[in-house]
Structure 1
Amino acid sequence: MIGKQILHYQVLQKLGEGGMGMVYLAEDTKLKRKVALKFISSRISSNDSEVERFRNEARITASLSHPNIAQVYAIEDSEHGSFIAMQYVDGVELGTYISEQNASIKQKEDIALKVARGIGAAHKKDIIHKDIKAGNIMVTPEGEVKVLDFGIAELSSSTKETSSGEYSGTATYMAPELVVGKDADIRSEVWAYGVVLYQLFTGELPFDGAYEQAITYSILDEEPTPVKERAENIPSYVEEIINKCLQKKPEERYQSFDEILSVFENHARSSARSDSSSKGNFTPLKIALTIIISISLIGVFIYGGMQIASSEPDTQKLAIIPFKNVSNDDASRILLDGVLETMTSKLSQIDNYKDALWVIPSSEVLSNNVQSPQEAYKLFGVNLAVTGSFQDLNDRKRLTINLIDAKNLRQLKSSVIDISGDNVVNLQTETVLKLIEMLDITTNDRIKATLAQGTTEIPAASSYYLNGVGYLYKYSQSDNLENAIILFKKAVEEDPNYALAFAALGESYWRRYEISGGVTYVDSAKLYLNRAMDINSELIPVQQTMGLLDLGTGDYDEAVAIFTSILEQEPGNEIAYGGLAEAYDNLGMYEEAEQTYKKAISLKPDYWLSYKLLGNFYLRNGDYQKAIDPLYRVVQLTPDNFDGYSNIGVAYYYQSNWEMAKQYFAQSYEIEPTESAASNLGTVNYLESNYSEAAKYYALALENNPNNYAIWGNLASVQGLLGKEEEERANYEKAIEVAENQLKVNPNDVNINAVLGSYYADIGDSVKSVFYIEKTLRLAPQVPSITFRAASAYENLGNRERAIDLMIKAVEQDYPLENILNQPELSELVSDQRFQELINNFPPSD
């Protein structure tokens, strides 16, 4: 088997053999990642019930997505048999870790907490593992913990059908009720977790014997050696958890893993309160400010798409410039915007059949306010631009389109399209076909079928839809979203099976949420997008929209599935590459995310947006030096790209090179006075103690976007330094309001949880502050900026010891020491002798 190519998996080595079959390490040649392939053994392949059990494992585990559960990617059939492709966890079983690693108490506490989170996440989906043991828990060198092998898991709603004879859990971890033949439930899992914790902290099993009958007798009739006798330094709260988990009667144990997790959280809160009270009164400190990374989405969900094509010297790099509205009336302008948007989207789809063509997403053209071929050339590096004009005559509509050499500003081709009456279906179709002809693309049946996908034959529905798209194209303008929603609803009334119109409704409500923060809009977005999927789940634009909504609401496992499926159908889909990489990033799968971004670049090495996405990925993950190369490539390819300059400034900021950071922020602001450039200039001025200038730039940023909680928090901080206490508190409260509203959509958003911990510390609410700080550290224990923010918050609460521990950890994770030493609000911590002694091993970087 080793060395063989099975479907798109290259088998590398044997990993082991489990109850279901052999397990191999393989390379997924499509996604360039390592996976574990779990084959069904020949012993059970002839048994239909065992085969179904094997498939059941895949179906159940595939429905789970959590940082502490090993992810199932696919179930496959091949000439070598059926197998599951799973996430490869490069680590050791917990039993091996216990025997070989001299782990600290804190490390053991971290493992215990992560195992509880993983099991608890499964329970929330009504899934019981039914074989929790040290051998089914993996620990990586980086401290990641994964629960795996749901080989005998079942939906808890069907456990009534399971007899003790069918339960094949490991004897030493079996609860008393299972030993006597009763059904398994969540409380049986609580018992097994207690056994794992006992083993983790003592190195011994609580119930053991030379043979199975001796083990079961011990489980039923004996009490384990008190855990304190075997581990004198075990924290009392962990001892409490173990003792309650190992109660003989199920009703006397924890009834859910939420109860266990609450013990961990209560311990964190009480520790913080105790430490804080021992310090006496402490003047609250302000914390370090947030640098904003300028990140543009890859276009409007449905309509602005782009396919990756090969990058030959004669590549047609195209931008469609907003057309002139000769009629100069609002109705024509909206219709024209809709035509422009659908032209861009439809032309992008042709990229699957025409090499050496790519199209700038219309959202990039709009957000950068590009009005001419020359601007498109300077900003995007295109060599072709499409311009045009629209005129609504009495008996017909006339559209003139021009193909322009963007570099030399020469008109290459021109065409006039006249459409009689109000037949907007023909208007958009004829426009796209004419542009394809002007680009010397030969149409065939496949291209024509692609252009026709998702359209409606009902003229009124098409007209409402196209005008709705026109409003949605400029959704940030007053009343445009409301008008778009009205028109899309009319479109689906005319054609109840118009999938694209339902998807557009979903996007409209999502945009509404982004602007206003109303959580009910998210529910509406999901409702309409689910309807679109029900009508036609094969439409790529509908899938893209659903995938991007999953990203926004934190359903990262669903996003991975959708974007992977899109790439299987359209291997050059830029939106899918970006979405897949972002989903991997949010799942903590750094290597997979990085390789996905790099794959997009390799397919199109001269497209600036792919470099920008990779650079921003590095910035988010603290790889500041690695970010500079791709971000410099952005401004080399597009010299007037203000986001590119801003993000280079961010990379220099986090390397403590504030002079270079300010230079690039100022260059970005000079090209385009954006929210991010203004905010970042505010931050650099803050670090230089120019607080009035900092407040000015933050206020300018909020004029552009009043729903940015980070800037409200930053403004509050500098107002405090200026002695404006009332304004300071009011703006922190505003920051909390905006952040908590956004957290309702994705409760596990790391950044929002982190800033809430900080903001509550700033207004003196220690209970809520500690809750959010510890939650953030659980979600992102290895991210240096998160660790730094948590340390700052604890310092603000007066817990100096915890603050120093976390601050040193942040430095160990490569957070710039200079950024800590130069924060005025951290001056007392920095001067603390304990901190000074610890940082002697961390000299300032050059």
Structure 2
Amino acid sequence: MVERKISHYVMLQELGRGGMGVVYLAEDTLLGRQAALKFLPDEFAHDPASLARFQREARAASALNHPNICTIYEIGEDSGRWFISMELLEGVTLHHSLAGSRLTFDKLVDWAIQIADALDAAHERGIVHRDLKPSNIFVTKRGQIKVLDFGLAKMSDPAFDAAAATSPSLTATSPLTGPGITVGTVAYMSPEQARGEELDARSDLFSFGTILQLMATGHLPFDGKTNAVVFDAIFNRDPPPIAQWNPEAPAELQNIVTKCLEKDPELRYQHASDLRTDLKRLRRDESSGQMRGSSATEASRRRNSSRTVPAAPPSSVRKWLTIGVMGAVALGLGGMGLLYRSHSQPAVATPAAEHSLAVLPFRNIRPDAATDFLGFSLADAVITQLGYVSTMNVRPSSAIAKYRNQDVDLHAVAADLKVDRVLTGSYVRDGDELRINTQLVDTGPEKILWRDTISVKYDKLLTVQDVVTQQLISGLAISLSPAEAEHLQPKASVDPAAYEYYLRGVDLYAANDFTAAIRTLEKSAALDPNYAQTWAHLGRAYTTAGSLQFGGRAQYERAQEAYEKALALDPGLLEDRIYMANLFTDTGRVEQAVTLLREALKTNPNDAEAHWELGYAYRFAGMLPESVSEAERARQLDPSVKINSSALNSYLYLGEYEKFLQSLPPNDSVFILFYRGLGEYYRRNFDAARSYFDRAYAQHPSLLQARVGKALSDQLSGQRQEGIRLLEETEQKMKQSGVSDAEALYKIAQAYAALGDVNAGMAAFEQSIQGGFFCYDYFLHDPLLDPLRSQPRFPGLLAQAKQRHEQFKRRFF
């Protein structure tokens, strides 16, 4: 089969064989990515009942979206052979990571929290793993946990019989699981699982307790030479205490494991979320204990030093371990969320920045199309570098784009951007040389703090950002932390042509030419796939095209893949985390976005865009006062953050229409025209609303917001059918391409309701909630939903939104 084409996959090489079939490395010719294809054994393909169950379970499992659960891409069939296309991961299983040893405390608790988070996500969807064990838990090279084979454990070999009790390594599973059929690997089974009874989520928590003890001690709690001995221990014996092998382990860890391993499911943890909470509390208490005094610190040092770090896996272990099954591929931050005790406690410390700075686009002294792109993109590169310095408040590239190729009044720029220092530059290309003049100006006394000239070879453009950044840091006498200093070290060399394509792509994105930006950044990545910034910006371009230009599902998948590549290359990449969080929010994964952003703000508390995106995520979850607080904090740090493409919608959703309109910038971008029209619509200034809507549509009729505004304008003009037709076309485009912006779907629902099409309005409202927009308090009071409130399904949809809103509130507040 190797090198044969199956559906839209080209088989490259066999990766492994097992009880569930053969796994191949394959090239997806449609999306241009590598995947793992697992072909199911022939007996499944020819057994209608087994195949039907497999399809049902795989579809349910593939609906999981979680950073600690492996992704299923699709289920397919070719010439009667069924296969699963899934994520290709690099790393080793937990089984190989342990290799007979125990983990350090920090690693144990971090990985355990991630596993608990994955189980919680699956159990909320009614999916029970049934075969949780170290070989079904994968650890990527970045320390991210991926739980594997949810649901597929039910489809392995037939249940074992009495003679199998003599085999110490038996794995017994069945495609038709039910009462009386035993499923799972013996040493990790719960008592009810070993008895062949019906299982629920608590069985997985027992298995997890077994794994926890193995991680803490290097020994299984229930062990023996035969399965009969192991079953006896599971049914009748208490596990040895952790202290027997690890005397320095915290007592609370023993309590957690003991509660997991209760024989009676009623006495165990009832939910993975409760277990996750206890693990987080353990991590917090151990961390605070280390800071209480020298004796605690020394005790902690002794405890960690007494634990051996697991040996590296043997060289015979295949570099690429291909595994699969359900869930979203994302950052491994499931176990890194912070604990928040009350609304009044700030999420992160936000000390005032010592310097506020704008880096203006450099001016091309001899303008020409071949080099004009450098003006903005070189400034962007410097801004990106400076973003890692916590004592500097640097305006983002989006704020300075309007100054490209302009002679500017620095006082006016400083007042507009609310900064006290401005970096300006000019450049000229002369053959293979590029000369750049830079100067840093304190705009208060209008004093030049320093100026310099840089001369570099054109194929060494990457050095410009490093040189200018170091000049700024030296000129402002900034003290860097060790982490900041490390991040600002000159980067490894990048292919010169690839870096030029990268700079061109950044410039095209800033000019809103997203299609050309994607094409150019893809060329950069093809020439040099090891430059993290290229992947980060490519992911952002894919996301924007997916949301605004009906690129949809394919673009979202490409965006996530690009973001992950960027973080694999540079785990500290701040902007990549922010871009990925935006993707999570837009695609209904608000909880993941919040976790990611809070972690980013922990180390970069003055990043305006991170605060803005956190406010955006809170808005989706219905935490409107908190959303306003984050957005206002972002605008305090940078008045121009997202100024042309986003609005402070939470004011609108709170019914504070005047504040909403006052928060909009004085420009005529299509987004701002739409939002201005929406604000006037709520204020019942319908003539003004119609005017703004029509101007937005005339400016960019293909954008989703412009089309929704035009539909509302048609309603105001009495052209009801025209408005409905436009909304139907918009929905059809979204469905065809897989666009999943849940807030945009809500606006479509509002427009349908205003136009009197209550059935279409209800359908869009339901899709919005299911897609991840659960702004419950807004739904309660939004006057645009009034035509839908009498519909029989409306209370049930409202209850769905309330349930997720309350779950979110409990988790994060």
TM-score for both structures, normalised by structure 2: 0.52
Correspondence for 1:163 = 160
TM superposition shift of 1:539:
1.5
Residue type at the aligned position of 1:118: R
SS of equivalent residue, structure 2 residue 509: coil
Tell me, yes or no, if the aligned pair for 1:795 and 1:803 is still in contact at 8 Å. no
CA displacement, residues 594-623 of structure 1 (integer Å, 9 cap, x when unaligned): 96688578x44xx65565455545544434
Whether 2:202 is the aligned partner of 1:175: answer no
Q: Number of aligned pairs? A: 536
Correspondence for 1:338 = 377
Correspondence for 1:654 = 653
TM superposition shift of 1:402:
0.4
Residue type at the aligned position of 2:720: E
TM superposition shift of 1:483:
6.5
For 1:396 and 1:80, the matched residues in 2 are separated by 51
Tell me, yes or no, if the aligned pair for 1:472 and 1:481 is still in contact at 8 Å. no
Residue type at the aligned position of 1:163: F
Check 1:615–1:81 CA distance in 2 against 1; reply closer, same or farther (3 A cut): closer
Equivalent of residue 743 in structure 2, options 742, 747, 751: 751
For 1:450 and 1:505, the matched residues in 2 are separated by 21
Whether 2:442 is the aligned partner of 1:405: answer yes
Whether 2:126 is the aligned partner of 1:119: answer yes
Check 1:729–1:445 CA distance in 2 against 1; reply closer, same or farther (3 A cut): closer
For 1:505 and 1:526, the matched residues in 2 are separated by 10
For 1:476 and 1:418, the matched residues in 2 are separated by 26
Tell me, yes or no, if the aligned pair for 1:739 and 1:752 is still in contact at 8 Å. no
TM superposition shift of 1:410:
2.3
SS of equivalent residue, structure 2 residue 714: helix
Compare the two structures and name the one with the higher helix fraction. 1
Tell me, yes or no, if the aligned pair for 2:550 and 2:734 is still in contact at 8 Å. no
Correspondence for 2:506 = 472
Equivalent of residue 664 in structure 2, options 661, 668, 678: 668
CA displacement, residues 734-766 of structure 1 (integer Å, 9 cap, x when unaligned): 331344356x155xx543554566667788988
Tell me, yes or no, if the aligned pair for 2:700 and 2:706 is still in contact at 8 Å. no
TM superposition shift of 1:518:
2.9
Tell me, yes or no, if the aligned pair for 2:582 and 2:613 is still in contact at 8 Å. no
For 1:540 and 1:80, the matched residues in 2 are separated by 19
TM superposition shift of 1:367:
6.6
TM superposition shift of 1:193:
7.9
Tell me, yes or no, if the aligned pair for 2:578 and 2:613 is still in contact at 8 Å. no
Check 1:719–1:413 CA distance in 2 against 1; reply closer, same or farther (3 A cut): same
Check 1:610–1:374 CA distance in 2 against 1; reply closer, same or farther (3 A cut): farther
Correspondence for 1:548 = 579
Whether 2:719 is the aligned partner of 1:724: answer yes
Structure 1: stretches of 5+ with no match in the other structure:
1-59, 67-72, 94-113, 132-149, 197-307, 557-581, 816-846
Equivalent of residue 453 in structure 2, options 413, 416, 423: 416
SS of equivalent residue, structure 2 residue 622: coil
Whether 2:534 is the aligned partner of 1:537: answer no
For 1:115 and 1:376, the matched residues in 2 are separated by 51
Residue type at the aligned position of 1:159: S
Residue type at the aligned position of 2:179: A
Whether 2:92 is the aligned partner of 1:86: answer no
For 1:636 and 1:423, the matched residues in 2 are separated by 37
Tell me, yes or no, if the aligned pair for 1:608 and 1:633 is still in contact at 8 Å. yes
Tell me, yes or no, if the aligned pair for 1:709 and 1:738 is still in contact at 8 Å. no
For 1:626 and 1:322, the matched residues in 2 are separated by 34
Tell me, yes or no, if the aligned pair for 2:425 and 2:437 is still in contact at 8 Å. yes
SS of equivalent residue, structure 1 residue 86: helix
CA displacement, residues 370-427 of structure 1 (integer Å, 9 cap, x when unaligned): 9664355334433222101112235732211001113343221111123356543554
CA displacement, residues 171-191 of structure 1 (integer Å, 9 cap, x when unaligned): xx9614449x99x9xx99999
For 1:768 and 1:191, the matched residues in 2 are separated by 45
Check 1:79–1:469 CA distance in 2 against 1; reply closer, same or farther (3 A cut): closer
Structure 2: stretches of 5+ with no match in the other structure:
1-65, 73-93, 134-146, 203-346, 807-813
Residue type at the aligned position of 2:453: V
Tell me, yes or no, if the aligned pair for 1:471 and 1:484 is still in contact at 8 Å. yes
CA displacement, residues 466-524 of structure 1 (integer Å, 9 cap, x when unaligned): 3531342341537675377347526744x565555565555554554455323444555
Tell me, yes or no, if the aligned pair for 1:782 and 1:813 is still in contact at 8 Å. yes
TM superposition shift of 1:624:
3.8
For 1:615 and 1:703, the matched residues in 2 are separated by 30
Correspondence for 1:482 = 516
Check 1:678–1:745 CA distance in 2 against 1; reply closer, same or farther (3 A cut): closer
For 1:810 and 1:500, the matched residues in 2 are separated by 37
Alignment of 1:169-248 (within 5 A): 175-178=179-182, 192=198
Residue type at the aligned position of 1:365: I
Correspondence for 1:784 = 776
For 1:486 and 1:89, the matched residues in 2 are separated by 41
Check 1:594–1:623 CA distance in 2 against 1; reply closer, same or farther (3 A cut): farther
Alignment of 1:710-721 (within 5 A): 710-721=705-716
TM superposition shift of 1:365:
2.5
For 2:571 and 2:684, the matched residues in 1 are separated by 51
For 2:597 and 2:518, the matched residues in 1 are separated by 37
For 2:597 and 2:464, the matched residues in 1 are separated by 42
For 2:521 and 2:742, the matched residues in 1 are separated by 37
Correspondence for 1:697 = 692
Residue type at the aligned position of 1:489: K
For 1:452 and 1:597, the matched residues in 2 are separated by 20
Tell me, yes or no, if the aligned pair for 2:756 and 2:787 is still in contact at 8 Å. no
SS of equivalent residue, structure 2 residue 367: coil
TM superposition shift of 1:432:
3.9
Equivalent of residue 736 in structure 1, options 731, 738, 743: 731
Tell me, yes or no, if the aligned pair for 1:464 and 1:491 is still in contact at 8 Å. yes
Correspondence for 1:63 = 69
For 1:710 and 1:391, the matched residues in 2 are separated by 41
Whether 2:551 is the aligned partner of 1:518: answer yes
Alignment of 1:369-380 (within 5 A): 373-380=410-417
CA displacement, residues 93-115 of structure 1 (integer Å, 9 cap, x when unaligned): 9xxxxxxxxxxxxxxxxxxxx99
Alignment of 1:537-686 (within 5 A): 537-540=568-571, 545=576, 548-549=579-580, 552=583, 585-586=590-591, 599=602, 603-604=605-606, 609=609, 612-613=612-613, 615-629=615-629, 643=643, 650-658=649-657, 660-661=658-659, 665=661, 668-669=664-665, 671-686=666-681
Alignment of 1:16-95 (within 5 A): 62-63=68-69, 77-78=103-104, 85-86=112-113
Check 1:668–1:734 CA distance in 2 against 1; reply closer, same or farther (3 A cut): same
Check 1:193–1:750 CA distance in 2 against 1; reply closer, same or farther (3 A cut): farther
Percentage of identical aligned residues: 16
Tell me, yes or no, if the aligned pair for 2:686 and 2:716 is still in contact at 8 Å. yes
Check 1:177–1:314 CA distance in 2 against 1; reply closer, same or farther (3 A cut): closer
TM-score for both structures, normalised by structure 1: 0.50
For 2:780 and 2:460, the matched residues in 1 are separated by 60
Whether 2:344 is the aligned partner of 1:317: answer no
SS of equivalent residue, structure 1 residue 465: helix
For 1:511 and 1:652, the matched residues in 2 are separated by 24
Tell me, yes or no, if the aligned pair for 2:707 and 2:727 is still in contact at 8 Å. yes
Tell me, yes or no, if the aligned pair for 1:310 and 1:356 is still in contact at 8 Å. no
For 1:194 and 1:510, the matched residues in 2 are separated by 37
Tell me, yes or no, if the aligned pair for 2:712 and 2:751 is still in contact at 8 Å. no
Tell me, yes or no, if the aligned pair for 1:317 and 1:359 is still in contact at 8 Å. yes
CA displacement, residues 247-296 of structure 1 (integer Å, 9 cap, x when unaligned): xxxxxxxxxxxxxxxxxxxxxxxxxxxxxxxxxxxxxxxxxxxxxxxxxx
Check 1:637–1:373 CA distance in 2 against 1; reply closer, same or farther (3 A cut): farther
Tell me, yes or no, if the aligned pair for 1:335 and 1:467 is still in contact at 8 Å. no
